[in-house]
């Protein structure tokens, strides 16, 4: 049969029309098939945690993981994938070897992990242990302990209260908790879902939290170093036996680095404190071989986008994101490998489904979130305008929405509306198809302390996903147990598929999502 050029043109135009004019049920069917029946999300989280974790800010390991993410997304045929640097003086810190033991009055292996950005020990060190419970009054500490700390290991803080583990370590939100949250009429009351709720003043609160509270012990640590202390031991009440080395933020090149500082299990802490209280002096033997270095190229956000298909709307963007960095004592599976893998899978699902969203869909995997939103703040200042200035760049108006995932590996249960009442009926409609999965619960409340706060600050509709807590706050958050064993496959598949459907529908709207008044 002879085919003319006009016939070919008409055929291609028809195919293009069919590809871009699918009904919403057809599009969601493709998303569901790709997300549920052909899921790759567990493969992604396995690579990200087992192979490329941990991903501490500033480290070579972080950059290696970022390169893997970039190459993986490129392999799906996503239109643009690139890095953007966010910090020139964030230092890398990696552990090569360490050990902590009590050798007297009897041998005990101390369950420990070093805090980040602390100095090496320069070989094996042995010294008596003393206990300093309260060090908030530095002048008093100096009067009491001056000249008495040389060659000593310092146990700091109070012994955790006894915990018989009667409460469950892992939970899902109850119907009552969800219903109470849905009925909230103000963004800032106590949050029935347990996460922080309030009117976050981003710039002032970041300065208070990260430059004041998180660095409040620097002068004390400097005193210990000047006095010749060998090491520091501290704990957090994570039972049973969980080690939680979250608390040092000396990541910039200019920051003073503490002497070797170890988080130990609450049980190890309790025994050491009890011995001390009985007048027995434990002798501590330890070593820490760690490396501090500055390699600014490691500090990158990973950005990728599927270009919109509508000539009028493709310059507008629907953004999704998660922080890519993790804390250092484990593989960073639930914080926040799970969120990163889900958002990567969202991009794969949309691309593999052959859908052509009208707006551009952009993913951002942020670095430096654990150090105060360093990656997302740098991105926002470069693209939207300086934080403390009122002038904003036109790009702010091009962002329809930002969706963030950073509350562990639990199933999506809905969305924090962040005080934006106008989006409630829109999200209700978009999530109705998935009501059978119980993912369509909406609360007007805010939740704070992750990257969506940055977008909310710039008056961009920025939202955090409500997720079942599982054991995020009891077992895995910033601990030595943040591992793949605590990532449920079904929850991850539901999260990726539902968010892909939500993002696609936002990208298809005639109008951007309404801004908060």
Q: What is the DSSP string of 63-94?
A: HHHHHHHHHHHHHTT-SEEEEEE--SSBPEEE
Residues of the chain predicted below pLDDT 50: 1-20
**Using one digit for the tens of pLDDT, what is the confidence trace for 264-321?**
999 999 999 999 999 999 999 999 999 999 999 999 999 999 999 999 999 999 999 9
Cβ atoms of residues 382 and 59 within 8 Å? no
| 119 secondary structure, DSSP code | P
Instruction: Classify 24-87+299-508 by CATH class.
Output: alpha beta
Give ranges for CATH 3.40.630.10 in the chain.
24-87+299-508
Q: Which residue shows structure tokens 């908060």?
A: 516
> Roughly what angle, to the nearest 10 degrees, separates helices 218-227 and 138-145?
10
pLDDT for residue 212: 80
pLDDT for 213: 83
Residue (of 131, 69, 125) closest to 98 by Cα position? 125
Q: What is the DSSP string of 260-319?
A: PEEEE-HHHHHHHHHHHHTT---EEEEEEEEEEE--GGG-EEEEEEE--S-TTTTTSEEE
Whole-number pLDDT of residue 199: 67
CA dist 487 and 453 (Å) reads: 25
Enter the CATH code of domain 91-165+201-293: 3.50.30.30
Contacts of residue 39, defined as CB under 8 A and 6 or more positions apart, other chains included, come to 345, 492, 493, 496, 497
CA angle 13, 17, 18 (to 5 degrees): 120
Judged on CB neighbours under 10 Å (0-12, 13-18, 19+), 122 is: exposed
**What whole-number distance in Å separates Cα of residue 69 and Cα of residue 39?**
17
Q: Mean pLDDT across the chain, nearest whole number?
A: 93
Q: Are 499 and 440 in contact (CB under 8 A)?
A: no
The Cα–Cα gap between 190 and 396 comes to 31
Q: Do 213 and 82 meet the contact criterion of CB atoms below 8 Å apart?
A: no
3-state secondary structure of 443: strand
pLDDT in tens, 463-512: 999 999 999 999 999 999 999 999 999 999 999 999 999 999 999 999 99
CB 249 within 8 A of CB 371: yes
> Which residues are within 8 A (CB) of 184 and not within 5 positions of it... i.e. 6 or more apart?
192, 443, 444, 445
Rounded to the nearest angstrom, the gap between the alpha carbon of residue 176 and the centroid of all alpha carbons in its chain is 27
The pTM score is: 0.94
Residue ranges, comma separated, of all CATH 3.50.30.30 domains in the chain are 91-165+201-293
């Amino acid at each position: 049969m002879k085919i003319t050029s006009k016939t070919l043109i008409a055929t291609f135009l028809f195919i293009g029309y069919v590809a871009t004019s699918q009904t919403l049920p057809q599009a969601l069917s493709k998303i569901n098939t790709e997300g549920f029946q052909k899921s790759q999300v567990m493969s992604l989280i396995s690579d990200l945690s087992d192979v490329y974790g941990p991903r501490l800010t500033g480290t070579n390991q972080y950059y290696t993981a970022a390169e893997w993410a970039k190459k993986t997304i490129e392999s799906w045929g996503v239109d643009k994938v690139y890095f953007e640097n966010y910090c020139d003086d964030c230092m890398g810190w990696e552990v090569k070897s360490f050990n902590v033991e009590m050798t007297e009055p009897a041998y005990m292996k101390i369950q420990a992990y070093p805090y980040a950005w602390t100095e090496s020990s320069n070989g094996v060190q042995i010294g008596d242990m003393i206990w300093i419970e309260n060090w908030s009054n530095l002048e008093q500490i100096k009067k009491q302990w001056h000249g008495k700390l040389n060659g000593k290991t310092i146990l700091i803080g109070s012994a955790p209260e006894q915990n018989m583990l009667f409460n469950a370590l892992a939970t899902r939100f109850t119907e009552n908790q969800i219903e109470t949250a849905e009925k909230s009429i103000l963004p800032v009351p106590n949050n029935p879902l347990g996460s922080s709720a309030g009117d976050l003043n981003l710039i002032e609160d970041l300065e208070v939290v990260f430059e004041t509270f998180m660095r409040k012990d620097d002068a004390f640590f400097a005193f210990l170093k000047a006095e010749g202390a060998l090491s520091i031991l501290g704990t957090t009440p994570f039972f049973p036996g969980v080690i939680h080395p979250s608390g040092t933020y000396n990541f910039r090149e200019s920051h003073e680095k503490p002497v070797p500082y170890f988080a130990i299990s609450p049980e190890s802490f309790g025994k050491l404190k009890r011995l001390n209280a009985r007048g027995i002096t434990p002798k501590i033997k330890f070593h820490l071989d760690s490396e501090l270095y500055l390699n600014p190229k490691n500090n990158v956000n990973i950005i990728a986008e599927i270009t919109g298909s509508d000539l009028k709307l493709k310059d507008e963007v629907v953004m999704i994101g998660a922080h890519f960095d993790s804390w250092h004592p484990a593989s960073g599976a639930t914080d926040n490998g799970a969120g990163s893998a889900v958002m990567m899978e969202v991009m794969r699902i949309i691309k593999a489904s052959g859908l052509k969203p009208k707006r551009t869909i952009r993913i951002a995997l942020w670095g430096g979130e654990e150090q105060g939103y360093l990656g997302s703040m740098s991105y926002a200042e470069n693209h939207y305008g300086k934080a403390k200035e009122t002038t904003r760049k036109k790009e702010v108006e091009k962002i329809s929405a930002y969706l963030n995932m950073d509350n562990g590996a639990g199933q999506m249960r809905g969305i924090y509306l962040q005080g934006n009442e106008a989006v409630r009926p829109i999200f209700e409609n978009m999530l109705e198809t998935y009501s059978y999965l119980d993912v369509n619960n909406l609360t007007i409340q805010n939740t704070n302390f992750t990257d969506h706060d940055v977008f909310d600050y710039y008056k961009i509709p920025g939202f955090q996903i409500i997720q079942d807590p599982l054991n995020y706050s009891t077992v895995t958050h910033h601990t030595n147990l943040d591992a793949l064993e605590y990532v449920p496959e079904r929850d991850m598949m539901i999260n990726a598929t539902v968010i892909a459907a939500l993002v696609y529908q936002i990208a298809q709207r005639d109008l951007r999502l309404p801004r908060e008044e």
